[in-house]
Structure 1
């Protein structure tokens, strides 16, 4: 082989090896639990005499890394506290009285955050691990020690407050999010959910789109300037963007990519967008390898790759296939959201199990509003800082445009199946889906080999059939955490739920679980809590029929039953919560407490396909349970050391599941 041909080949091999090494290192760091610093308060919980994991009363001093953020409708808040060594999360009764950058002394009960009891559920331990914290402090008293100057935090807070005060929480919050990003603005939860359902979440997250709008306005101003002042102007704009939005992964990716592209263009070279994107991502992963597991970083890189690789070929393909009467701009306008939606589909399913079905048309309708609205919001931010009296005059037209975008978003979010709940597929199926989509969407000569392109439809079909088979399978899932138990029964794509508790937390956990399994709505929900549901609307929103106690009595009496085809619950007695659950051709016995266990033993003996125990039975009772089950025996909590064969325990926080064909 001639030397001139061997050099590019060697260069590609070297670059491929470097990329592989960076990705392997980032993957290793992301999957390895970080070790807390020697002075981190988590070591106090592990010290001898600390109470074996019980909350510990402590007083901590540190600096707030953010303003307190609301955690739910009850008004409670949380904030991250930077300690001399390590971090902890403060759990506060209210959001007022504390600000980012203040030094505070917090007194309260320290504990370790609980891990998620099931892979489909979110847990505070996993969230805090990504933020570098290993403990939570339930604050009983907080004292401000110092209020050092925090000009950046004050500027962000001032901008958001003035826009919110001017035109309200929805329109003002949207304008503030277009400048600062939704992570730094108290947007109404309903508005966030509407943007997510419409497939427009990227409009609220500070990213490359917002930077491109900013640079599109700034660069023409410096067109006649010499090179270095022109680059200085662009650099100042990008620095301002980072300062306002914060050093989030997607923000730094966009700024680094923009800086590299400008440097290449100003030096007279021809930049390859995909190469610049990969270089930016690799530099960031070398610096912060744990960002490989960040969902925002993943979506940002993959969506940008879709735009630079296949948006143009997709546009050409659409031009050839659209009817002649379609306007010429439709192909170009559709190619961008279509490419981003296709390439991010595997990540959407893997992380959320939900697909925004109307993302492409929603982006088409919103696109004419987003660019001028983002530019207007940035101009208003400048006015709010430099000449606040003019804000009242300039705000109404931009606010009207903001309100129009809110109407568009809510309109698409209200459409049937706006969020198509497909469930979270197995990792292997996600890889098959990604490979199939790449095979179909990569451009011709630079894409996959011909064999790979021919295999792409087969890979997509295999992924779809595999996931459909999992969705249609019969399955029983137990999730146990503390005194709460959820039993989800799935049959031929439908599901029903039995919950020991009727509180709002159990309802939200049940909703997450159903979404992860691709269940848009439960057939029915049976709540065995003697106390009436605290949030009945939450339960009714996710089940066709909810049966719960209203006065302490049992929701089901002997002779009654609650069911749908293949999913039936019947009580065993009038004085206990013992339930017979029919799941397809199988019959399970549910014994939540000791009274239910006694009531079952008093009934006529019969064989069960499986038994669930909410309480640890005594030794004679274990023998009776073992004899009555011809299948699995599940126990919530810790199991006995001498458990008979076939018994499985969930542990203090855990899950068990069994599926059938």
Structure 2
């Protein structure tokens, strides 16, 4: 019965945080209530308590909705009118140290004001510290939303932190430091990280610092973070339950002969130290709560039930902040822990008959965690680290001594600095070995298997179909149904990826057109800047494209970073002087995808996607040049893309050609029937035909 109560409570909180319309949410709530009442009656509950269960899920759903993050009445964003910016002077306290933004030397830092929070955007980045009181003068704006679900923008990132605006400062003189109050906790973290990085360099020392403080506190070089992600080892550098278990294990080994009260004080001190160092991240709070509940149960003489402890810890966290459920790290942490609790031990038993005991135990843990987090990996990233299991097996012997040694180094940096070089002598080679193994695995072919992000309903079906194979004791019929569900998800996802489709993404002044045919893709980009290149790479990963067959850049300005574009394709074509790089008679072609010029004196292009043909007219000159020449060969046209807002005469001129669809980049109200606009910052997508 307690398990049912906790499950209903968690389900109610989940329904309150998932973005759903009112009707589906109400239907799911009714279904949940009926299932809970039926299960309670099956467990022998009396009618009145069974009816009382019907109140749990709706109550917590309303609690989650009420706790939904939103700006307060005095938040800086309330001083904005409409979508435009406003010159303002804000005073407040810096919530963290600045974090670098791109390669331009700029940075961002959250500012806590009297009525809310905003993010300061500074360029160049002055030396600032967490806790300082500052006065900032700049332009306050709402952060931009992502133009496509695969391209999250600052608005989505900041909303998860309760920030609804950004203040852009024009010069360093626009920021005045009013006071530099002491911030002992932040200074302690900064001193520990600086000591470890100074001792071992930004890579080896940074890894040691991240093992203590977490990668959210210690920014690592971009190449190091990318290697750990590609190898499926990013969890090793995120403060979580593993790091707390290492610390608690060492502390309890030292105090195992002590009486209960000092032993409890040692355990409590270790958990508070871990929380103090890593900060109140969702995964850290979950680990501390679960460790505390489990320790209390064991010390009281009872037998800890790991699944019950996990669910209770999660429920306590979400009662405080329901919207932590939307945190990706929190989701992955809970799923991995559930895998270790429910699947690792039965899997180890099953493997023990075929493998040595040490191999079975070592293999069961990463396999269980990987399988339980697989639906979330696909949902959020569309990418699967193919070598995550062997990678975890290889680095497992290194992580525990490295974590414990790094913690000892960090404490020595504060309490006994002369001891740091002695501890670094054995730890730095181990850190270098961990980095070398990670880089070697990340460099293997298909280290990141790009499957594309499935539809949410397919992810849900995939997770439900996987459960009978992960839970011990599931019968034959549930597993057969699960296998059928997995096959159905695979067929539907591959069918969606393999269709002929076109995607337009418009971000302010830049356009990206992704054409897809049977799992292949090609790209036409209106801009050659770094942001467009980064967006193109994210779109490829989310759409399941390993590389583009070819990329065409319409920007007359040379790319900021040609290597960024070249890394995504084997054939890169750029424009120059406003003319198409493809001259009459030339053609870009790969299986099912083609691009040819419509005229020799403009950038008008004909895009072929399977049997379908689109005209790409990025500017008025392209439309005029095409209209003077006329449709090539009188071929039927599936659609037309316009990179500009046409006049009424141009609309009539284009409508006479009778294309099935017309897509426009930007906002354009009052369009003819069959025409669609992306909006100032949005996207359009659909079948090519």
Compared with structure 1, are the counterparts of its residues 612 and 550 closer, same or farther at alpha carbon in structure 2 (3 Å cutoff)? closer
Equivalent residues in 2 for 1:346-425 (5 A)? 346-425=375-454
Q: Conserved in 2, the CA contact under 8 Å of 1:610 and 1:629?
A: no
Moved more, 389-398 or 163-172: 389-398
Q: 1:645 aligns with which of 654, 658, 673?
A: 673
- Alignment match, 1:654: 682
d(CA) in 2 for partners of 1:179, 1:241: 8
d(CA) in 2 for partners of 1:660, 1:317: 49
Equivalent residues in 2 for 1:555-634 (5 A)? 555-605=581-631, 606=634, 607-634=636-663
d(CA) in 2 for partners of 1:16, 1:555: 60
**Alignment deviations for residues 363-392 of structure 1 (CA, whole Å, 9 cap, x no partner):** 000000111111110111111111112212
Q: 1:532 aligns with which of 543, 558, 573?
A: 558
d(CA) in 2 for partners of 1:92, 1:617: 38
Q: 1:63 aligns with which of 93, 103, 106?
A: 93
Q: SS at 1:213's partner residue?
A: helix
- Alignment match, 1:267: 300
Equivalent residues in 2 for 1:133-172 (5 A)? 133-140=163-170, 141-172=174-205
Q: SS at 1:184's partner residue?
A: coil
**Alignment deviations for residues 564-588 of structure 1 (CA, whole Å, 9 cap, x no partner):** 1211111112221111111110110
d(CA) in 2 for partners of 1:378, 1:154: 17
How far did 1:95 drift? 3.8
d(CA) in 1 for partners of 2:67, 2:507: 25
How far did 1:441 drift? 1.3
How far did 1:70 drift? 1.1
How far did 1:32 drift? 9.0
- Alignment match, 2:342: 309
Moved more, 386-395 or 166-175: 386-395
- Alignment match, 1:547: 573
Q: Conserved in 2, the CA contact under 8 Å of 1:30 and 1:292?
A: no
Compared with structure 1, are the counterparts of its residues 519 and 266 closer, same or farther at alpha carbon in structure 2 (3 Å cutoff)? same
Compared with structure 1, are the counterparts of its residues 639 and 165 closer, same or farther at alpha carbon in structure 2 (3 Å cutoff)? same
Match status 1:276 vs 2:309: yes
Match status 1:333 vs 2:359: no
Q: 2:77 aligns with which of 31, 35, 42?
A: 42
How far did 1:55 drift? 2.3
How far did 1:654 drift? 0.9
Q: Conserved in 2, the CA contact under 8 Å of 1:102 and 1:148?
A: yes
Q: SS at 2:419's partner residue?
A: helix
Match status 1:75 vs 2:108: no
Equivalent residues in 2 for 1:68-147 (5 A)? 68-140=98-170, 141-147=174-180
Report the TM-score, using the length of structure 2 for normalisation. 0.90
d(CA) in 2 for partners of 1:493, 1:349: 17
How far did 1:127 drift? 0.5
Q: Conserved in 2, the CA contact under 8 Å of 1:530 and 1:554?
A: no
Q: SS at 1:161's partner residue?
A: helix
Q: SS at 2:169's partner residue?
A: strand
Q: SS at 2:457's partner residue?
A: helix
Match status 1:495 vs 2:521: yes
Q: SS at 2:80's partner residue?
A: helix
d(CA) in 2 for partners of 1:566, 1:35: 47
**Alignment deviations for residues 134-187 of structure 1 (CA, whole Å, 9 cap, x no partner):** 111112321111111101100111111111111111000000000000011121
- Alignment match, 2:23: none
Q: Conserved in 1, the CA contact under 8 Å of 2:192 and 2:411?
A: no
How far did 1:603 drift? 1.1
d(CA) in 1 for partners of 2:330, 2:533: 30
d(CA) in 2 for partners of 1:393, 1:290: 44
Report the TM-score, using the length of structure 1 for normalisation. 0.94
Moved more, 565-574 or 351-360: 565-574
d(CA) in 2 for partners of 1:655, 1:32: 31
**Alignment deviations for residues 318-350 of structure 1 (CA, whole Å, 9 cap, x no partner):** 123x2xxx4321010000000000010000010
d(CA) in 2 for partners of 1:426, 1:472: 14
- Alignment match, 1:473: 499
Q: Which residues of structure 1 form unaligned runs of 5+? A: 1-7, 47-51
How far did 1:417 drift? 0.3
Q: Conserved in 2, the CA contact under 8 Å of 1:30 and 1:293?
A: no
- Alignment match, 1:244: 277
- Alignment match, 1:22: 13
Q: SS at 2:150's partner residue?
A: coil
Match status 1:212 vs 2:245: yes
In the alignment of these two chains, the number of paired residues is 639
d(CA) in 1 for partners of 2:199, 2:5: 56
Q: Which residues of structure 2 form unaligned runs of 5+? A: 19-60
